[in-house]
Amino acid sequence: KRRLSPQVNYTQPVVAVQFSNATANVDHHVECRLNAAGLRTDDERDKFAGRVAFRLRINRE
């Protein structure tokens, strides 16, 4: 069994999203993609290669 070792000096990226005037009590879909030469983000077999997606809901009464 081959074991993968962490990359030397690798720093995990940080992403920040700011919503101004977002609609309350509604799901907001967010997708962040990497853009780089030679990096594919459109592979249907691996939908999260080079990207992350999530939903955010701001609840207000």
The string of pLDDT tens digits covering residues 6-60 is: 677 878 778 888 888 889 999 999 988 888 887 777 777 887 778 888 999 999 8
**What single-letter DSSP state applies at residue 21?**
S
3-state DSSP call for residue 26? coil
Model pTM above 0.85: no
